[in-house]
Structure 1
Amino acid sequence: MSNKSKWEGKTRGGLSGHKIFVFILNTFGLHIAYFFLRFVAFYFFLFSKSTKTSLNYFRKIHGYKGLKAYGATYQNYFLFGQILLDKVALLSGVKTNFTINHDGHNENLANLKSSGKGSILLSAHIGNWEIAGQMLDSLNTKFNVLMYDNEVEKMKEYMSRVMGKKSFNVIAIRDGDMGHLVELHKAFANNELVVMHGDRYLPGTATIEKNFMGKLAKFPAGPFVMAAKFGVPITLVFAVKETKNHYHFFARKPIEVKRARTKEDTDLVVKNSSDQYVRELEFMLKKYPTQWFNFYDFWK
């Protein structure tokens, strides 16, 4: 569908993009920044290489036709920009009046701490996971973010300054380096939460193929293999933007996982837990189609 057919392990926008957003917020405030964002989103709509990919996503995956596909593509860029602004505002302490509808927070997240073995919180590039992070503050437990990012060290240093005392630990996955497994073991042993996304992978890493939104797509096997190897539950979490000032936070019932002792046990955990993840991802994508922020051909 597009020549950009894979994710390259780098967060869209990068460090310079975050600095620009911080400057806009500090100078103009959030809602004035939204106004300027309309022009930025339109610029990307006209000139970004990923516009063709986004148009095909709405046409081939959601069946949008004519102007509806173009309108959804522009809205996709505009919402992505809003969420970046919201993210920086939240992390840097800019005053906001966001409201959040909690769906499953008390009954599904509150019990995780009592399990005594940590948990994987699995999300996707839908909506704004930083809002989910705000929900984790109430659990009074440390959480770690596992991420692929070529700029992770610079981003960690910069965002720690922006965030002040609101700290979290970033566990970076690097080519040929298994250090993240040691950090994961420590985190789970300390009954900590590990937040990760299950909808991107780097070339060469293990994947599983699933029927997703009516077409075959590949997903990283890593989160599900980790759950099997460490014997920790997987809780699916999402936070989506429903209006300018309102978010909806979802925390699904934890997928209980027994520690796998054999390859067959591991394969079964991977299949069952990934099936549940893909079903939930389909639900979210159908309900919030313009908040899918994978700007490459996911189904190729």
Structure 2
Amino acid sequence: PGSAWQVMCLIHAFASTILDRVFLLARGLDGFRVSTRGVEELRRQLDRGRGVLLLGAHVGSFEVLRVLAAGRPECKLKLVMDKSKTPALTALLEALAPELADSVIDTGRGGTDIVLALSEAAREGAMITLLGDRGRPHEVMREVPFLGAPAPFPAAPWQIAALLEVPVVLCLGMYRGGNRYDLVFETLAEEVELPRADRNIALDAYIRHYAARLEHHLREAPCNWFNFYDFWQPQCIAEMQHAEYAAVQHARAS
């Protein structure tokens, strides 16, 4: 467990990024210092013209990417999120920047609508962004090493990338204190292949690589970790196994 000072630093960093979201959407990048790493790699993937899946996490601030993209019309950004999770905050942020609401693909919509929206975004060569460190209820999870212990991660981002045939790029908006952010891009997979015979083995390999890179950046800046619950709890793993079993049974029935 962390010390009281470390806990205080973590809470302060989290509160700072929440407050910064308001200023970022109200005033853009004015007053902020944002450095970037790996932009050339991202451009290389986008130049292929088939879209990119930007995979983030509950780390630092993803709002920096949204605002940065909003200032560049040629960069089409689609954010996959569940608006019902934080309705009050979502309403506030959309009131500050109504134009950003159009960039959201709401996972609370029907499954068919989501698939169609994702397919359209990929055809347009957009950057499709979602967070890959938390699963939804009844979602298939895979268990991989993370910060010293096995932890469950959702399989959905990789299944989406395989379906859309797009590369996967890690994207993290690391908070560096004060008004400073570091936007990091790293290619995780040029393409995602999930062969039927070895599907779980392939999924585990992709997710393990994502978790390892996420761990690398968190060890450099641990106060950017904003999952405020027992990320490694056995209950999560049990639910993961139950969801996987249910998915297998459904596949067999169909």
Map 1:29-68 onto structure 2 (within 5 A): 59=1, 64=2
Shift of 1:165: 4.2
Separation of aligned partners in 2, 1:124 and 1:164: 24
Separation of aligned partners in 1, 2:123 and 2:104: 17
Separation of aligned partners in 2, 1:116 and 1:83: 33
Q: 2:157 aligns with which of 202, 218, 223?
A: 223
Counterpart of 2:223, as a letter, is T
Map 1:25-104 onto structure 2 (within 5 A): 59=1, 64=2, 69-93=3-27, 96-104=30-38
**1:122·1:236 contact (CA, 8 Å) conserved in 2?**
yes
Percent of matched pairs sharing the same residue:
25
Shift of 1:177: 3.6
Counterpart of 2:231, as a letter, is F
Gaps of 5+ in 2: 234-254
Map 1:123-202 onto structure 2 (within 5 A): 123-137=56-70, 138=72, 140-151=74-85, 158-166=92-100, 168-174=102-108, 177-202=111-136
Separation of aligned partners in 2, 1:167 and 1:175: 15
Counterpart of 2:190, as a letter, is E
Asked which structure has the greater CA Rg, the reply is 1
Map 1:193-272 onto structure 2 (within 5 A): 193-253=127-187, 255-257=189-191, 260=194, 262-264=195-197, 266-267=199-200, 269-272=202-205
After superposition, the Cα gap between the structure-2 partners of 1:207 and 1:258, relative to the gap in structure 1 and judged at 3 Å, is closer
* Normalised TM-score (structure 1): 0.70
The structure richer in strand per residue is 2
Q: Which shows bigger deviation, 130-139 or 207-216?
A: 130-139
Aligned residue number for residue 26 of structure 1: none
Shift of 1:162: 0.7
Shift of 1:203: 2.3
Q: Tell me how many residue pairs correspond in the alignment.
A: 232
Gaps of 5+ in 1: 1-58
* Normalised TM-score (structure 2): 0.82
Shift of 1:271: 2.8
Q: String of CA shifts for 1:245-291, please: whole Å, max 9, x gaps.
A: 2111111135211565x423654542332122111111111111111
SS of 1:133's equivalent? helix
Q: String of CA shifts for 1:120-146, please: whole Å, max 9, x gaps.
A: 000001101111223434472221111
After superposition, the Cα gap between the structure-2 partners of 1:273 and 1:95, relative to the gap in structure 1 and judged at 3 Å, is closer
SS of 1:240's equivalent? strand
Q: Which shows bigger deviation, 152-161 or 181-190?
A: 152-161
**2:83·2:90 contact (CA, 8 Å) conserved in 1?**
no
Shift of 1:84: 0.8
